[in-house]
């Protein structure tokens, strides 16, 4: 079984400040971790993933995420938030031999000008 927790419903951040969106996971075996972003009334867009190797993963639009095995976390970060980063962010997890993704409930990010 696999599951994801995104503990915050909404993250508010001022434009230009660092942005962090939290994700913790539970999975049998080694996890494959993903971040997606969704703009209103649109499908999900892939941002980045962790499969193996370097714990710091860099993705699209200046986003990065850090895998922490001991804390079972995969937090999404951006050094300087833009108003255009305002969207719904989803963390998801899978593992070897399982074609299914388990999604968190999502975090609404609001970047304040």
Partner 1 sequence: DGGITQSPKYLFRKEGQNVTLSCEQNLNHDAMYWYRQDPGQGLRLIYYSQIVNDFQKGDIAEGYSVSREKKESFPLTVTSAQKNPTAFYLCASGPVLSNYNEQFFGPGTRLTVL
Interface contacts to partner 1, rule CB under 8 A: 9, 32, 34, 36, 41-46, 49, 51, 90, 94-101, 103-106
Strands 87-95 and 102-103: antiparallel
Separation in Å, CA 27 to CA 8, 47, 51, 71: 21, 21, 13, 13
- C-beta closer to partner 1: residue 15 or 88: 88
- C-beta closer to partner 1: residue 54 or 100: 100
| Residue 93: CB minimum distance to partner 1, A | 10
| Residue 56: CB minimum distance to partner 1, A | 18
| Residue 6: CB minimum distance to partner 1, A | 8
Alpha carbon distance 112, 100 (integer Å) = 35
| Residue 32: CB minimum distance to partner 1, A | 5
Alpha carbon distance 101, 113 (integer Å) = 34
- C-beta closer to partner 1: residue 100 or 113: 100
| Residue 40 token pair | 């209103």
Per the CB < 8 A criterion, the answer to whether 109 and 78 are in contact is no
- C-beta closer to partner 1: residue 45 or 55: 45
């Amino acid at each position: 079984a696999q599951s994801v927790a995104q503990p915050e419903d909404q993250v508010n951040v001022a434009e230009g400040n660092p942005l962090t969106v939290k994700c913790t996971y539970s999975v049998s075996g080694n996890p494959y971790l993903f971040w997606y972003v969704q703009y209103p009334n649109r499908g999900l867009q892939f941002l980045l993933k962790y499969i193996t190797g370097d714990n710091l993963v860099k993705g699209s639009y200046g986003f990065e995420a850090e895998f922490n095995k001991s804390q079972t976390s995969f937090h999404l970060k951006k050094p300087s938030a833009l108003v255009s980063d305002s969207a719904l962010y989803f963390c998801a997890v899978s593992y070897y031999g399982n074609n299914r993704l388990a999604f968190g409930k999502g975090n609404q990010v609001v970047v304040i000008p």
